[in-house]
């Protein structure tokens, strides 16, 4: 019974964990309060210029995820250009330096960190949920057959086999079936939430 309660608690925790990741804040807010009005106007002008250039580069209609990734790339390039301009160095030299690589990684995390955490968490939850469901199915629904006997050396042994219909086959109880179906429903709910978020 304790094992069943633990399976139930773990299933609830996994479901709540993935739901928290799904409803995590996905929008990005940049703090520009420390910048002067000139810098704010310059950044706004660069953004408008980049948007105009992006709109004239390709006439291919992008889907919503592709458009978001394209906008993220534009925002990262604008941020790198602004950093290089403030430091007075060439963009190419900055990008190829160790500091530039670290800066790019931090910018990507700033813009896409919540998405990366969401997909990583969803993948982990699906793997753990599937393993939990298989464990519950094998242990709680196939039934346990206890086989006792002696080997060739005369040593007694006890073997536990699941899903074998013998005379001492143990039929799962209603509570065991309930926990199995509950685990299955929670696993399907996690898959459904993942599909909704990815859509």
pLDDT tens for 29-69 read 556 667 677 777 777 777 777 776 665 544 444 456 556 66
As a whole number of angstroms, the distance between CA 13 and CA 10 comes to: 5
Region of 165 please: left (phi>0), alpha (psi -120 to 50) or beta. Answer: beta
Helices (H), the chain: 2-22, 37-57, 64-87, 91-96, 98-136, 174-198
Flag residues of the chain having pLDDT under 70.
1-33, 35, 52-70, 72, 111, 138-146, 160-174, 176-177, 195-199
As a whole number of angstroms, the distance between CA 159 and CA 149 comes to: 9
Four-residue CA torsion sign, 23, 199, 127, 72: negative
- Given the DSSP bridges, would you call strands 156-162 and 169-170 parallel, antiparallel or unpaired? unpaired
Cut 0.85: pTM above it: no
Enter the DSSP assignment of 12. Answer: H
Q: What is the pLDDT of residue 26?
A: 45
Per-residue pLDDT tens over the stretch 83-94: 778 778 887 777
Listed in order, strand segments (DSSP E) in the chain are 144-150, 156-162, 169-170
Q: What is the pLDDT of residue 144?
A: 63
The residue with tokens 């196939």 is 142
């Amino acid at each position: 019974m304790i094992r069943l309660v633990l399976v139930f608690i773990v299933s609830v925790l996994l479901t709540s964990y993935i739901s928290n990741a799904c409803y995590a804040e996905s929008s990005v807010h940049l703090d520009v309060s420390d910048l002067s009005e000139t810098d704010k106007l310059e950044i706004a002008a660069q953004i408008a210029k980049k948007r105009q250039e992006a709109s004239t580069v390709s006439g291919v209609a992008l889907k919503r995820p592709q458009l978001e990734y394209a906008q993220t790339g534009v925002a990262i390039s604008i941020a790198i250009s602004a950093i290089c301009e403030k430091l007075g160095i060439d963009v190419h030299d900055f990008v190829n330096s160790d500091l530039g690589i670290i800066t790019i990684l931090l910018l990507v995390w700033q813009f896409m960190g919540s998405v990366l955490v969401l997909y990583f968490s969803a993948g982990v939850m699906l793997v753990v949920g599937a393993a939990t469901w298989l464990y519950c199915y094998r242990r709680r629904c196939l039934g346990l057959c206890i086989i006792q006997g002696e080997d060739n050396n005369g040593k007694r042994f006890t073997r536990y086999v699941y899903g074998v219909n013998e005379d001492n086959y143990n039929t799962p109880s209603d509570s065991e079936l309930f926990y199995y179906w509950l685990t299955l429903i929670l696993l399907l709910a996690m898959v459904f939430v993942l599909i909704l978020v990815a859509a």
